[in-house]
Structure formats: C-alpha cells, structure tokens
Amino acid sequence: MLDENLPTFYFKQPSDNPLSTLLYFTQNGSEPTPEYTLQKLNPALPEAKNKYAIAIGDASAQGVIFGEVLIEPEFQQPTLSAAEVRAHNGVPPPPAPIIPESFAIQLYNPDQQVVVRGEKSMWMGRETFEFEIPQQTFRMPSASQIDRQQTNPLASSLTPKIMFRWKRESKFSKDMTCYMTGRSVGGKKSKEPDITVALYKHSKDTAVTIYEPNLQRVEVEDRKGLEIVLLLSAEVIREIYLTPSRDSFNVASAPPNKRTMTRPLAHTPGSPKPDAYVMTSAIGVSSPAKANSPVTQQPTPPQDSNARRQQTMSQQEEREREKRDKAEQKRIKKMLEDEERERRKREAAVEKETQRLRKEFGMEGQDYGSRPNLPPRPQPCRRGL
C-alpha cells in the first residue's frame, strides 16, 4: 500500500465463485469493507461463446449494475513455422482472436458510453489507454418545463470533456498509473501537464489507489462515474491487453469462420482505424523457418520454450515491480513530508507575524482605562414648539 490514508480498492476473488471478484474499500486505515463486485459472464451459457463480458455492481445489493463491458473479437488464422506445423502433425490450429484496439464502458443512470482506446509503442514496449469523461453529466434541476425538454448535456458535442490516460509502467509490468492529461471541447484537445489520478498495482493484493490530493484539480461532476470507469477499465486492460488469453473470450471447440478484416469495437466516424492487438495461439506466432535449415534437426518443444520464457519474464517483472514500488513509495513519502514541512512553516510564519502585530499595536494586555466622560447629547427639536 502506498499510503493507508489514500482511498484504496482491493480485488479479492472468492474461492467458491471464480467468476466474481469483490472490491474492498479502505481509507485512513479503516477496516476494508465490500464496496463493489465484478461479475463475469458464465462461460457455460450459449450466449457467452466467443465473447468477453464483465459488469460492476453494488456489493450489498445484487442486481444493481453501475456499468459493464462487452467485447466480441474477430478471428485470424495464425502463421506458423515449419517446426510448429510438424509439431501439430500438419493440423492447422484454430483461429486466434484479435483484440480490438478499443472497448466501450457502458455506464447507467445516466446512460453514457466511455470509449477506452489503446496505443502500443513498438520501440518502448509500453501501452497507453486513453478515455474521456464529460465535465458535466447531470442536467441542472429546474421547475421549468422548457428546461426539462432540453437536450441531455451528454448528447452535445460541445460539452467539455476531461481527458485521462492509463499508462503501463514498463514492458514487463502490469502496474499502471492513470493521469489527467487535459480537456477536449468539440473535438479540439488542449494538453496539460500530467496529473496523477490513480495507481493500479497488480500483485497478490491487486489494488487501485485513488490519489485523492489531486482530485480537487479534476473538474468532473460525476465522481462516482469516474471511480467506476477507473476500476472497470483497469480490470479489462489487465485481463484483455496485458495478459491476453483465449479463455478470456470463451473460445469454444468449434472455431468460428475465419475473418481477415480487423476493426476496433468502438470506432469514431471520420477517424483513422488504428492497428489491432493480435492475440497469439498457445504455441505463439513466429516467422517461417529458413530454407537452409536441416530437416533432421529436432526443434525444441514449443511448450518448454514458452514456459522458460514466461518464467524468465515473470522473474524480471517481479524484480522491476519491487524496484518500482520502492521508488514510488519513497517518492510519495517524500511528497507527504514536504507538504507537512510546508504546512508547519506556514503556521510558524503566521504565528510570528501575529506576535509582531500584537507587540506593535499593543493588542495584548493593553489597559484602556475607564470610559471617558462625554458631554450630554442635545435633545432634538420638535415641530411646532
């Protein structure tokens, strides 16, 4: 935990229900209490085939849903090397799901969609995921029938929106930090210095920490909606984009028809279609074997090589995560100490100035003596006398 005083949500999965995750809330060292529940679609249902669906609801009231995400990927036949084809006895593997570049979070009461768009850097190996929240969500209360018939502020393209970005810490890490990056009005964006809003830590005690000291600079009317978007987007990004798996989409034994065209799940008209994230099969996607490779060479079993590679990456990721956690804890601790030092310094300066004014103007211990005798006030004249 970065600081027990900051609002923090812990992700805990019950042992008796693998499709549900409880989010426990704690702040100022309080005892964690269930606040939200994440519920996935039952893979045994026919409508769950080739889909990823998750909803966030109230932990104390079943059936109360605040938001949900539905992703239906398209599929593509992976390209295999000659060694991988021989390992499968010439039988082609099933098509692999293609993860869309974006997904939409559907919020309820009021209904609105928040589209989260991903961007992958081939050089730095980091991913960022951007989304926008309307600055004004709720209609102003009014007794006028004309005001009630006006268009919902969410439907207006001129409604100012606050821009946010989830940023992955490193290539081998699943930890992310969410920043407020600026605002957008009518499609025109104005960038601002990044302001830390939330931190996502993936570990044994997975948690989302809200950096409350900066929330006063976030001009979003629907704070509850922002909180839900942060929690739900962090879980979807981790499960679909950072740790992709065929099981996430409930891929059935009978593969769907092959599709070669890819597109994002939620696409804004008039904007270019970015590249999609392609999920590899269980044996991975590699380049074709060289022509001069000896035929009698025994290839390394793909499962063993993948296992060793995954183990090495996990160890390196764990070391980087621990190093980064220590640095982040040190940074936040220093920030809090600096704030406390500045507060004490300001209080000392105010006290010093107060003492100086008291000595200069005699505000402390001064005896004004008895009240002076004033002459009697003249009586006002009456009309007619």
Residue 131 has a pLDDT of: 96
Q: What is the mean pLDDT of each run of 10 residues along the chain (385 residues)?
A: 85 89 94 94 86 93 91 81 73 79 92 90 70 86 66 65 91 89 88 93 91 91 94 94 79 46 36 39 32 40 58 75 78 82 88 84 57 58 48
User: What is the per-residue pLDDT for 262?
Assistant: 33
CA distance 104 to 267: 10
Instruction: Decide if 266 is inside a domain.
Output: no
In a domain, 255, yes or no: yes
In a domain, 247, yes or no: yes
| 179 part of a folded domain | yes
How do residues 10-28 score in pLDDT, each as one tens digit?
Answer: 999 888 888 999 999 999 9
* Predicted local confidence at residue 267, as pLDDT: 40
Tell me which amino acid residue 346 is.
R
Q: In the chain, how many domains are there?
A: 1
- Is there a contact between 81 and 289 (Cβ–Cβ < 8 Å)? yes
Domain boundaries, position 42 = 8-138+152-261+275-286
pLDDT at 378: 59
* Interval 227-245: pLDDT, tens: 999 999 999 999 998 887 7
Q: How many residues does this entry show for the chain?
A: 385
Assign 3-class secondary structure to the chain.
Answer: CCCCCCCEEEEECCCCCCCEEEEEEECCCCCCEEEEEEEECCCCCHHHCCCEEEEEEECCCCCCEEEEEEECCEEECCCCCHHHHHHCCCCCCCCEEEECCEEEEEECCCCEEEEEEEEECCCCCCEEEEEEEECCCCCCCCCCHHHHCCCCHHHCCCCCEEEEEEEECCCCCCCEEEEEEEEEECCEEEEEEEEEEEEEECCCCCEEEECHHHHHHCCCCCHHHHHHHHHHHHHHHHHHHHCCCHHHHCCCCCCCCCCCCCCCCCCCCCCCCCCCEECCCCCCCCCCCCCCCCCCCCCCCHHHHHHHHHHHHHHHHHHHHHHHHHHHHHHHHHHHHHHHHHHHHHHHHHHHHHHHHHHHHCCCCCCCCCCCCCCCCCCCCCCCC
Is there a domain that residue 384 lies in?
Answer: no
Q: What is the pLDDT of residue 258?
A: 38
Q: Is the dihedral of CA 208, 212, 213, 216 positive or negative?
A: positive
Asked if the structure places residue 383 within a domain, the reply is no
Do residues 285 and 79 touch, judged by C-beta distance below 8 A? Answer: yes
> Would 306 be classed as within a structural domain?
no
pLDDT of res. 20: 92
**In the β-sheet with 277-278, what is the strand arrangement from edge to edge?**
74-76, 96-99, 277-278
* 351 inside domain: no
pTM of the model: 0.62
HSE at residue 46, side-chain half, CA atoms within 13 A, is 0
Dist. CA 54–CA 249, nearest whole Å: 11
Residue whose structure tokens are 């079943």: 62
